[in-house]
A and B are shown apart, each in its own frame.
Chain A
Amino acid sequence: MEKMTAPPPNMAASPLPPPDPCFVLRGAQSAVHALHFFGGAQGQVHPLLLSGSLSGLVHIWSLQTRRAVATLDGHGGQCVTWLQTLPQGRQLLSQGRDLKLCLWDLAEGRNTVVDSVPLESMGFCRSSILAGGQERWMLAMPGRGNDEVQILEMPSKTSVCTLKPEADAKPGMPMCLELWQADSSPRPLLLAGYEDGSVALWDVSERKVCSRVACHTEPVMGFDFDSQKARGVSGSAEKALAVWSLDEQQALQMCRTHELTNPGIADVKIRPDRKILATAGWDHRVRVFHWRTMKPLAVLSFHSATIHCVAFATDGLLAAGSGDQRISIWSLYPISTDSSTPLLGHTEGGELPEVPGPWSLHFLHKAGFLS
């Protein structure tokens, strides 16, 4: 087990305790590499949390009992890197480093693999889906060629196209993907972060890059995109976060970069209400920022190893998965006391307090944000 590299919090400097996780899930038995909240929206009071581990297992956690309710073993002991549920039915997609995407049926307590898609890239790239309520949905995954992205129509597994950068671009391997659709147009779009630190926007139907922007000098490890504000944020191995935007001509532009104390961001997630975002740090910490202003709000230290992934639930709960085999669950700036209230719209236009939470100053200071 790794030792904490950071010095212990200096209690004398501030009488107020640092923020704690609400609770911690133990029992993943190996490093946690993927997290995904599931349910809670369809009348379920208590959502489930899915986690994927280095040892190839997917754990399903009940947030009510805070215990694993089921374990899925479908990746032959190889790391599970990505988890995603489909909007209709209780189906789960899991991506493993055994070069397989598994489609699980979780309805009525079942947990069986109903289908699988072979992967042809050994990389770390997580896949993405575009699914409305319909029967058919779209899947983007790393392709056969080193720099390719493969688009499939599901569930038929028909190949739609392969997105291959132009010969002179040389962006390297795709590192992370996000399929989306603008409100104004039905055309599917794909955002892809590449090994060379750039983010590109693909028009899937035309199989061409609309725009590309260089965000980082190191590979893009993770990004998240706010389609309403047409703004995205990405992290990489380097010591900075990049915020970029998409204008009406579908051109990507760098907005700003945000310097960090320690290098290495493994994952970035914007909360569903688009108020805050969280990053998974190699420095064992989760950092929380105000999404609009990028003002640093909190540094969450609990883990004793690299954080591999973060995830937000629709009710605002934050989960972080780490190499220390633990998953920490945090409740920050609760969205609403009533979890049944529809999230979006409810907080629309609302502002977070300037200095939210009594502990933040201390932490901003400690994390070097105020120096």
Chain B
Amino acid sequence: MAGDCSIRALWILNNLDAVVFSRRFPVVEKRWRAACHSENESSGDDPVKYNVFSSLPSDLELAAAFADRKTREGSVRGFGIRVSQSKEGSDSWVDDPITRHIVGFYLNREEEGENNLLWPLALHIKGPYCILILPLVEPKHVKAYARLCKRSDCGNAVMADEKLSSLLLDLPSITGAFMVAYAIGEIVTGDVAEPEVVVSQSPSVGGLLDSLTGSIGISGISRAKPIAAPVASSAPSGAAAVGALAPDVPKSGSRLLDKDALRSFISSAMPFGTPLDLSYSNIFSIKANGFSSLDIPPQDLKQPAWKPYLYKGKQRLLFTIHETLHAAMYDRDEIPDSLSVSGQINCRAELEGLPDVSFPLKGVSTSKIEVLSFHPCSQVPEQNVDKQALMFSPPLGNFVLMRYQATCSLGPPVKGFYQLSMVSEDEGAFLFKLHLMQGYKSPLTMEFCNVTMPFPRRKILSLDGTPSAGTVSNTEHSVEWKIITSGRGLSGKSIEATFPGTVRFSPWQTPRSTSFRSVLEGTTDDDSDNEIENTNNMVNTEEFLMEKMNEDLPPVDLEEPFSWLAYNYAKVSFKIVGASVSGISIDPKSVSIYPTVKAPVELSSQVTSGDYILWNTLGKCPSAVNAKV
């Protein structure tokens, strides 16, 4: 059974912990029962008397188990690592952050005895929904996990014989289950985003459906229901919400679940519970359009399963290099600034037939590319950095051809420092001094550039100061400085912008809700007399205030990189077009298509900011050791 992925059942719960959709796969379940049967027979003399729970829960039971785990683990995802509240037998007892994603439920069924662990459930939270996928594993794996989470000792040693890591390595079904969960998540929330491909001429460039409707000539085809419009979405991945707490609970959403769309997706993607293809656009095209007699299979080749339709029409090839720049700017001697690029090449190949496309990647050797990974359709020769030639047989529609991590070869587009000093408890003086686009030559153009100073825990009363360039505005909890507003792009020159000012806050009030503390707090101890003493030792206002504010700092989720709220920083957001900042590029002339056709190749690039943070030079800042790769 190893090496396969089958789903026993899946459930979708809403934010009221009620099951809104469920699907069970009896064929898989039958295999599970057979496995349980033989396992229970073979382990007759097993010292650990543990009979594997052998039937699926009803929606009611599952919802109860879900709520039960939520209570036991503090939140939907759970603690993840062993904390003082962790109970033996619960997920966090295993002490591994992945238990926030791979969860186990205890079903409350008296007749089944105590051993009613339902594991592994892939948990994916999307919008207001929690998606739970139960893949088929062998009963012995469930037993192994049960032992892990019921061990009475202080936790797993890294070299232990029985580990979660080994289990996960042996269980590709879990990996598959997450793929299913993500696919379903996109459907239930309706934000199926195809990778963006920027096109200069044609205004109507969408995804697969556009190429279909364009080619077949059917204009009024109703698009697959749940998708609002699969137009090029502008949401790049990896741009996390900064400064705000990403709450663990699902956000409330207004969309209603489209059960028909979901049901038909599941029926096609995994008719018997074993996923075959999770491509949403393919499945919905087939469901919606079917095939006509005009769809003729290729003569000598087999049409790939991931390309049910072949393109017909005007041929062209589009590439978009999309890079996201993450930076931590410290402006300190002891901590070097760090700047990293995560990029991807999106592609859209409007080519007839089943051609192979190949081209050499330019700049791979010069721009320090750390990671390259590719779409399954591509064939990667043995990694040879100098001649990184890539060949692929493109699928239909927009797709991500490759991804990479690199360093920024051009240097930071926004460079400088941010200093904030609290002159009193409620007043801060700040100074920005920034260089924009230093060393960036045309055609690199900065379309816009904003700097935001978030103060999520303080209320801004007033703001003084005038920047040397751009405009300033403030909301209750943040100051925004627009250095370059869209429409007046900056190209071919660099500018320097300074912004001295003061910001006044309303007096700090200790939020009296301490409920959040219970989430990750260790031992409860009310050493209030402790702090009284500390006051006297505080050297300056800054530290004192910091200390005071930290008293009520909630613990962050494990999905956050650090406690954003504990730091003062400014976040820069910008967009640069014209070229990549990593130096990676494609020469349109060297792109070759086999069998040869004449098709124009278009290339575009855009760079956006991800977490581009200027840490307050005068305050505390998080850092990490930069390891050489």
Q: Do A and B come from one complex?
A: no
Residues of B at the A interface (CB closer than 8 Å) are none
Binding site for B on A (CB under 8 A): none
